[in-house]
Amino acid sequence: MSFRLEPREHASVGLKLTVSLAAGIVALLLVAIPVLSAGGSPIEAYGLMVQGAFGSMFALSETLNRATPLILTGLACAVAFRAKLWNIGAEGQLYIGALAAVCVGSGLLQLPPALMIPTVMIAGFLAGGLMMVIPTIIKQRFGADEVVITLLLNFVVILFIQMLVEGVLKDPLSMGWPQSVPLIAEAKLPKLLPRLRMHWGLIVGVVAALILWLMVRKTVLGFEIRAVGENKAAARFAGIPVDATMLKVALISGGLAGLAGVGEVAGVKGYLSADLSPGFGYSGIVVAMLAGLSPIGTVISAVFVAAVFVGADSMSRATGISSYIADLVVALSLLCVLVGSFFLRFRVKFERRQVGA
Amino acid sequence: MTDTPVLLSLTNITKRFGPLIANNAISLDLHRGEILALLGENGAGKTTLMNILFGHYVQDEGDVLVLGDGGLAALPPGSPGAALKAGIGMVHQHFTLAENLSGLANIRLGTEPLLSFGREGDARAKVKRIIAESGLDVDLDRRVADLTVGEKQRIEILKALYRDAKVLILDEPTAVLTPQEAEGLFVVLRRLAANGLGVIFISHKLGEVLAVSHRILVLRGGTKAGELVTADADRRAIADLMVGKAVAEVVRIPALPGETLLEFDGVSLHAGGRQALSGVSLKLRAGEIVGLAGVSGNGQSGIAALISGLAVPTSGTMRLYGEAVAKASPRDFVMAGVARMPEDRQHDGVVGTMSVADNIAIEDVRSPAFSKMGLLDRKAMRERASAAIAGYDVRCPGPDAEARLLSGGNVQKLILARVLEREPRVILANQPTRGLDVGAQAEVHRRILAARDRGAAVLVISEDLDELFALADRFVVVHAGELSDAGPSEGLDRGTIGLMMAGQARPPVGIAS
Amino acid sequence: MDALFDILGSANFWAAAIRIATPLIFGVLGALICERAGVLNLGIEGIFVAGAMAGWLAVYLGAGLWGGVLVAALAGALFGLLHAFLTVILGLSQHVSGIGITLLATSVSYFTYRTALPDVTSPPRIAAFQPLNIPGLSDLPFIGPALFQQTPLTFLALVFVVLVALVLYRTPLGLAIRAVGDNPASVEAQGLSVVGLRVGAVVAGSALMALGGAFLTMSAFDAFFFGMVNGRGWICIALVVFASWQPGKALLGALLFGAFDAFQIRLQAQIGQVVPGQVFLMLPYLLSIVALILVARRADYPRALLQPWTKGQRH
């Protein structure tokens, strides 16, 4: 008995869903090992996580609140990865977007909410986009790899934000905390429901996913992004402006990450601080990969990842198992989905080799 | 020759790829001191057979037997290491050299214990001895990246001889050589065979097979179509064995050249850190096919890049319809009615994971035909694709099939459909039939000639002189970035062109126009 | 200007430069081995964390210091093996796998640390490596304290520079590694195993990376902190390009970086009142970016980097 790999001609939507689902389940099974080693019961732990993430209106709101930035950073990564632009800098772009929101929205402009909110969002989008356009230009002009540059820029940006919130942007009324002046009321995103933290950023994220989905399928830009991502040489040969398309992708990608930052400042915190994001940018990579880079799938996988984090926090309080378990689930899900992508490309065939006479 | 011992024996080798039978119960014997030619069209199963022999593929049935100390013994399937150890050396069509290492390092690679020191001296002495015996002269200390194609091939042969190969397999070894270099290779091969080596020479070129081999084995469609001794062979009979059916000759009427549509005037091009073209002048006229011959890597890609709109001259002028081209823009060229067939069609011609319809529309996707206000007109794209599939006989499941599932010939038909449907005025056909079977070749040639007769100016770049003789009204030869004057193809012989390709001769008097 | 000479003239500065460079030397060498074989290992950041945690924990639980070093290397090798399985054997995206390894190694380390030490408020300490006293050399005026009062791991890093260079340029194994990163077909055609070479290189390289992490908890500091690796792994990925994949230049790059970092710390002490501290902290990252941009155009990337390989594949 031996096995052999056959390339698949086509991977159906059903198969893709199955693989994603299987990857999530395998990841949860693997995480049972550390849960057991920490002296917990996996079934109880997962039960508590589900309850913590979805068990009440409050829990659900917390989960969706957490999913909001993840949808946007997930979309940021999905659109970039499709074009083979390795944007690992969503974390930094998120902060820059948040910074732009604070710059525009903390009193510099006085507009009614109907104008103020879009202004803040556009500012955050453009600032985040610029943060990705720069490494893309560097890649095109100097040939320097965008992976390392966007990664390193994350560290630079966070230090820069620290500097600002301890310096020029520092709120004099913050009693010494390193946080920026707050947004004016007109710039804040309204809550979706009273007394719950969910805010309009969630709607922005879902709409962004729908727009991207339509863009990929129905527009010339989407066509060009696919061509450039799948085969740059052929796209260039066929007359598609490769560099310009990449810059558009960079702007959209960084812009979406920037919007995530706007959402956190304008929808949740109300001010900027250097601990605004617990790694939403990095989790966005996982969200996008779990979704197979599909915009609609990104919404679902963002909710999954958010639920893991929110559920793990609540489970951790109840059982004493470290909440780093959530990071473990997320990391393992990513690797499982990666392995799953292998089965999307190949079909494993078991067979008996016929030995010649 | 058959009185010497058998070095290698294949018995009933069968290999299937899904429903396709690439090799069907093929048997052959190779004797000591013999040059055996494996002749067949592209897709006849030659390369598959050799990959099985060398352990790259595992056969479904049959055995590879090699002469060892205890007589003929079967090789374990799927192990290049075992094949090497048994004394089989293979020179692949695409060289398997590490370009960042020296020639000597490539020869030593894998022959010494991984953690050992100071064996370079012995290795060098042995290689020197082999060079002296075989005449395969080459600088052993230069980085392979800096060697010419012919030199790289010599390194490949030395690699095999260094391992004391009893059997040497060469896969299409002359594809990258000038006729003169090929003749030099034949001399080496005869000398090696005389010293007792068994050689398998894979080719689809009848002429050179007749020139170098002792025995010929003809493959067709994965089966053995015939086996004959070269000395008794009849050219016509072998050709029929190879092709299986008579292929209609493409009929060509004399050209009626019109006005100049594309012109190179003293064009030089600097690309990739070196001078690709220097002072090239050339006119492409309506209703005429110019054939560009040359050994690969002498400036063809520079000329193709210019006509594709991927580059502009570093100095000199390129004029399209009389106007100087100032900006490198493939899109502008497409819009101006230039049809471009890329050299590497899988790599540059199609986006494999996009559909046939997408790939047919890709050059035009911004035009009103396929999109309005930035939104795609999927229906129009699919209709156009359906028409192209029917009109150009593109074999595929339909407009929505992914392009990567198409065979090489069908990809080329897809590209023809994409570029010819717009009735282009200028056509660049870069290696238009490389890797295609005879039927597809004839189809491509017919289309190109029809476009010429319609009034298009055509440049055909090809390494296949037969193809150029079949198509070209005028000939130019490129060597080291310089172009010969374009002369009419009538009265030209292969020898003259070969010398020009090697840079050793100017065109004879009478050709220069 | 005087400040500059004061800094450069102090033995303490040079000692600090070498100390800061040490984990980077391990990291760049590790990345270099992987990439020479054709595999980008973005797991480096997480492997640093895993090495730092595993080495420290082993010592904390009673293993000797060198036992800790071994455990760290093993932890790195294990994550390397996973990366190799995903990228070499299954041929999956090296970018994504690397990021995944970084996330996994980091979260496993943090989780293990939290689970092993649930109740501590301040990080517990171990008896870390102490600077060696080399008779004759360590006592030399200026040179001694500047260069020769380092812990054993620093000297181990230097030994590895020589060892890696020796293997890469003087043995058939090195020949094969350099060949497999340029054109795997060349290696396969000569009967060597592409998969074997690549897996071996990634595992060995990852073990070295983990030693870089171990240096942090067992030499530079004596405890494990969350976030202590702080981008050092990514900096190594930039430095390996800067070093053109050569061990000697890797050492030079790491030392230059160490000197720069030590310099900015001292400069900060002198003019920190005028310029915010974060500006100085940003400089190492910005320097890495600038270095990457400067060398990118003429960088001679291993040709097969990022290219998966399947047996019998033509190209």
Q: Cα–Cα distance between B496 and B490 in angstroms, integer? A: 13
User: Does position B247 have pLDDT exceeding 60, yes or no?
Assistant: no
In total, chain B counts a number of residues equal to: 513
Per-residue pLDDT reduced to its tens digit, B119-137: 889 999 999 999 998 888 8
pLDDT-derived band at C106 (thresholds 50, 70, 90) equals: very high
Per-residue pLDDT reduced to its tens digit, C258-303: 998 998 888 888 776 778 888 888 988 998 899 899 988 888 889 9
What is the pLDDT at residue B254? 79
User: Does position B510 have pLDDT exceeding 60, yes or no?
Assistant: no
Looking at the partner chain, which of C95, C112, C235 has a beta carbon nearest the beta carbon of A147? C95
Which tokens go with A154?
Answer: 């994350």
Which tokens go with A161?
Answer: 């934000």
Residues B100 and B141 in one domain: yes
* Residue B392 forms part of a structural domain: no
Q: What is the pTM of this model?
A: 0.90
Window 63-92 of B, Cβ < 8 Å to C: 80-81, 83-85, 90, 92
Q: Which chains reach chain A with 3 or more Cβ–Cβ distances below 8 angstroms?
A: B, C
Residues B151 and B275 in one domain: no
Per-residue pLDDT reduced to its tens digit, B322-341: 999 999 999 999 999 999 99
What string of DSSP letters covers A104-163? Answer: HHTTT----HHHHHHHHHHHHHHHHHHHHHHHHHHHHHH---HHHHHHHHHHHHHHHHHH
Give the mean model confidence (pLDDT) for residues B394-423: 88
Q: Do C96 and A282 touch (CB under 8 A)?
A: no
CATH number of domain containing B471: 3.40.50.300
* Cβ(C98)–Cβ(A340) below 8 Å: no
Query: For tokens 């040059």, what's the residue?
Result: B35
Pick the CATH number of C2-119+135-296 from 1.10.3470, 3.30.70, 2.50.20, 1.10.1790: 1.10.3470
Query: For tokens 């823009």, what's the residue?
Result: B329
Q: Which chains reach chain B with 3 or more Cβ–Cβ distances below 8 angstroms?
A: A, C
Window 328-357 of A, Cβ < 8 Å to B: 353-354, 356
Q: Cα–Cα distance between B68 and A314 in angstroms, integer? A: 71
In chain B the first and final C-alpha atoms are separated, in Å, by 51
Domain tally, chain B = 2
Looking at the partner chain, which of C114, C278, C296 has a beta carbon nearest the beta carbon of A143? C296
Residue type, B409: G
Integer-rounded Cα radius of gyration of chain B? 25
Q: Cα–Cα distance between C26 and C20 in angstroms, integer? A: 11
Q: Cα–Cα distance between B238 and B252 in angstroms, integer? A: 25
What is the pLDDT at residue B322? 92
* Residue B508 forms part of a structural domain: no
Closest to B495 in 3D by CA, of B505, B485, B486, B487: B505
User: Does position C235 have pLDDT exceeding 80, yes or no?
Assistant: yes
Q: Cα–Cα distance between C7 and B289 in angstroms, integer? A: 74
* Cβ(A191)–Cβ(A181) below 8 Å: no
Closest chain B residue by Cα to residue A221: B374
Which residues of chain C lie closer than 8 angstroms to A30, CB-CB?
A: none
What is the pLDDT at residue B505? 60
Q: Do B106 and C188 touch (CB under 8 A)?
A: no
* Cβ(B36)–Cβ(B202) below 8 Å: no
Residues B90 and B140 in one domain: yes
* Cβ(A251)–Cβ(A125) below 8 Å: no
What string of DSSP letters covers C90-108? Answer: S---HHHHHHHHHHHHHHH
What is the pLDDT at residue A25? 87
Residues B50 and B178 in one domain: yes
Residue-number span of the structural domain to which B265 is assigned: 260-343+425-431+456-501
Q: Do A152 and C114 touch (CB under 8 A)?
A: no
Residues 6+ apart with CB under 8 A from C131: C138, C149, C150, C151
Residues 6+ apart with CB under 8 A from B225: B40, B218, B219, B241, B242, B244
Pick the residue with more confidence: A3 or B200?
A: B200
Q: Give me the residue spans of the domains in chain C.
A: 2-119+135-296
In angstroms, the separation between the Cα of residue C294 and the nearest Cα of chain A is 8
Which residues of chain C lie closer than 8 angstroms to A142, CB-CB?
A: 293, 296-297
A322 near B CB under 8 A: no
Looking at the partner chain, which of C171, C192, C300 has a beta carbon nearest the beta carbon of B110? C192
In total, chain C counts a number of residues equal to: 315
What is the pLDDT at residue B513? 36
Which residues of chain B lie closer than 8 angstroms to A222, CB-CB?
A: 376
Looking at the partner chain, which of A151, A328, A341 has a beta carbon nearest the beta carbon of C108? A328
Which residues of chain C lie closer than 8 angstroms to B56, CB-CB?
A: 188, 311-312
Q: Do B60 and A354 touch (CB under 8 A)?
A: yes
In angstroms, the separation between the Cα of residue B331 and the nearest Cα of chain A is 4
Window 220-249 of C, Cβ < 8 Å to A: 230-231, 234-235, 237-238, 241
Phi, psi of B277 (to 5 degrees): -135, 140
Fold of A2-351: ABC transporter involved in vitamin B12 uptake, BtuC (1.10.3470)
Which residues of chain A lie closer than 8 angstroms to B374, CB-CB?
A: 219-221
* Cβ(B426)–Cβ(B283) below 8 Å: no
Q: Cα–Cα distance between B204 and B209 in angstroms, integer? A: 8
Residues B119 and B184 in one domain: yes
Q: Range with the lowest mean pLDDT among A285-294, B288-297, C153-162, C177-186?
A: B288-297
Give the mean model confidence (pLDDT) for residues C78-97: 96
In angstroms, the separation between the Cα of residue C170 and the nearest Cα of chain B is 7
Q: Do B101 and C173 touch (CB under 8 A)?
A: no
Q: Cα–Cα distance between B265 and B284 in angstroms, integer? A: 12
Q: Do A224 and B365 touch (CB under 8 A)?
A: yes
Q: Which of B188, B208, B243 is the last residue of a domain?
A: B243
Closest chain C residue by Cα to residue A167: C276
What is the pLDDT at residue C264? 86
* Residue B377 forms part of a structural domain: no
What is the pLDDT at residue A1? 47
Give the mean model confidence (pLDDT) for residues C95-111: 96
Q: Do C97 and A335 touch (CB under 8 A)?
A: yes
pLDDT-derived band at C5 (thresholds 50, 70, 90) equals: confident
Residue type, C208: L
Q: Do C186 and B109 touch (CB under 8 A)?
A: yes
Which residues of chain B lie closer than 8 angstroms to C185, CB-CB?
A: 92, 94, 96
User: Does position B246 have pLDDT exceeding 60, yes or no?
Assistant: no
Q: Do B84 and C190 touch (CB under 8 A)?
A: yes
Query: For tokens 């800098």, what's the residue?
Result: A89
Q: Cα–Cα distance between A260 and A202 in angstroms, integer? A: 10
Residues B278 and B217 in one domain: no
Looking at the partner chain, which of C86, C115, C292 has a beta carbon nearest the beta carbon of A144? C292
Q: Do A356 and B363 touch (CB under 8 A)?
A: no
Using a 10 angstrom Cβ sphere, with 0-12 exposed, 13-18 middle and 19 or more buried, the burial of residue B267 is: buried
Mutate to test the interface with C, among B114, B115, B163, B344 (most CBs of C within 10 A): B114
Looking at the partner chain, which of B51, B94, B115 has a beta carbon nearest the beta carbon of C312? B51
In total, chain A counts a number of residues equal to: 357
Closest chain C residue by Cα to residue A139: C293
Residues 6+ apart with CB under 8 A from C292: A144, A145, A148, A149, C238, C241, C242
What is the pLDDT at residue C92? 94
Closest to C56 in 3D by CA, of C209, C220, C204: C220
A275 near B CB under 8 A: no
- Which regions of B230-347 does DSSP assign to beta strands (E)? 260-271, 274-285, 288-293, 315-320, 323-324, 338-341
DSSP-H helix ranges across B71-224: 80-85, 103-108, 120-134, 149-162, 179-194, 206-212
Per-residue pLDDT reduced to its tens digit, C182-191: 999 999 888 8
Q: What is the ipTM of this complex?
A: 0.91
What is the pLDDT at residue B107? 95
Query: For tokens 């002429």, what's the residue?
Result: B207
Which residues of chain A lie closer than 8 angstroms to C108, CB-CB?
A: 34, 328, 331
Using a 10 angstrom Cβ sphere, with 0-12 exposed, 13-18 middle and 19 or more buried, the burial of residue B338 is: buried
* Cβ(B58)–Cβ(B52) below 8 Å: yes
Q: Cα–Cα distance between A91 and C99 in angstroms, integer? A: 14
Average pLDDT over all residues of chain B: 87
Decide: helix, strand or coil at residue B44: coil
B372 near A CB under 8 A: no
Give the mean model confidence (pLDDT) for residues B242-254: 66
Residues B217 and B269 in one domain: no
Per-residue pLDDT reduced to its tens digit, A118-134: 999 999 999 999 999 99
Query: For tokens 């719950």, what's the residue?
Result: A196
Question: H-helix or E-strand containing A29?
Answer: helix A13-37
Looking at the partner chain, which of A223, A231, A356 has a beta carbon nearest the beta carbon of B376? A223
What is the pLDDT at residue C314? 41
pLDDT-derived band at B512 (thresholds 50, 70, 90) equals: very low
* Residue B229 forms part of a structural domain: yes
Closest to C46 in 3D by CA, of C191, C218, C234: C234
* pLDDT tens track, chain A, 357 positions: 456 677 776 777 788 888 888 888 899 899 999 999 888 899 999 999 999 999 999 999 999 999 999 999 999 999 999 999 999 999 999 999 999 999 999 888 888 989 999 999 999 999 999 999 999 999 999 989 899 999 999 999 999 999 999 988 888 888 888 899 899 999 999 998 888 889 999 999 999 999 999 999 999 999 999 999 999 999 999 999 999 999 999 999 999 999 999 999 999 999 999 999 999 999 999 999 989 899 999 999 999 999 999 999 999 999 989 999 999 999 999 999 999 988 888 887 765 544 433
Query: For tokens 């820029």, what's the residue?
Result: A153
Which tokens go with A245?
Answer: 């398309």
Looking at the partner chain, which of B98, B110, B115 has a beta carbon nearest the beta carbon of C178? B98
Residues of A with CB under 8 A from a CB of C: 34, 37-38, 86, 88, 138, 142-145, 147-149, 151-153, 155-156, 159-160, 162-163, 166-167, 282, 285-286, 289, 320-322, 324-325, 327-328, 330-332, 334-335, 338-339, 341-342
In angstroms, the separation between the Cα of residue A161 and the nearest Cα of chain C is 9
Per-residue pLDDT reduced to its tens digit, B468-478: 888 999 989 99
Percentage of chain C beyond pLDDT 90 is 69
Give the mean model confidence (pLDDT) for residues B406-417: 88
Phi and psi based region of residue B100 (left: phi greater than 0; alpha: psi -120 to 50; beta: remaining) = alpha
Closest chain B residue by Cα to residue C310: B56
Mutate to test the interface with C, among A87, A158, A324, A330 (most CBs of C within 10 A): A324
- Cβ-based neighbour number of residue C72 at 10 Å: 32
Pick the residue with more confidence: C134 or B348?
A: B348
Cα dihedral A85, A88, A94, A95 in deg (nearest 10): -130
Q: Cα–Cα distance between C6 and C17 in angstroms, integer? A: 15
